[in-house]
Structures are given as C-alpha cells and as structure tokens.
Amino acid sequence: MKIENTKAQMRKGVLEYCILSILKDDDAYVAEILETLKDAKMLVVEGTIYPLLTRLKNAGLLSYRWEESTSGPPRKYYGLTETGKLFLKELNTTWNELQHAVNLVTKQKKK
C-alpha cells in the first residue's frame, strides 16, 4: 500500500471543510482559494476544485458573483450562503469532536 494514496484520501476528506472555512470571512475567487490551499500543503489542482465548488453551490452552501478584473477577464467570486454558514458551524463542531477522538485514540496531545 502506498502512503501517498492514503495521504491524498485524507486531504480529500477535509477539502470541503477547508474551502468553506476559507470563505467564512470573505468572498474569494478560485485562484485565491487554490493559493490558500497550496500554502497549507493541501496540494489541490484546478481540476479538483471546480467540481467541488459546483457541488457546494448546487447544495446551496455557496453563491457566486462576477466581478470585473483590471488584469484580465471577469472573476467569479464565491461566498458562503446563510445555509453554508450554518453548515460550516456544524462542521466546526464535528471537526473538533473528530480531532479530539483521533487524538485520544492515537494518544496525541492537542497543540
């Protein structure tokens, strides 16, 4: 079994949560979202993020707006809907519970 496959699956499992968290305070366009994820070593490519953003939008968690750009074509900015904010709040609780449980099982102390 290759460790890279497992690591990739773990990242994919938290990607929705990370995207919603990135958008919790401000709207962002795809390049900004990707940059934040890459800076955090989430190793995401554009081909992965567009279907995920579409799925989150179709689920009513995200909305988008077009904004003119001074350096190219208009940009699509994504933001959380009210439903998305509530969903993220629930995910925060779930993440904290899961993190606590994993730390207990693996005997790691929370930093």
pLDDT tens-digit series, residues 44-98: 778 889 999 999 999 999 999 999 988 889 999 999 999 999 999 999 999 999 9
pLDDT cut 70: percent of the chain above it: 96
Q: Which helix (H) or strand (E) holds 104?
A: helix 82-106
Beta bridge partners of 15: none
Query: Is the overall model pTM greater than 0.75, yes or no?
Result: yes
pLDDT band (50, 70, 90) for residue 109: low
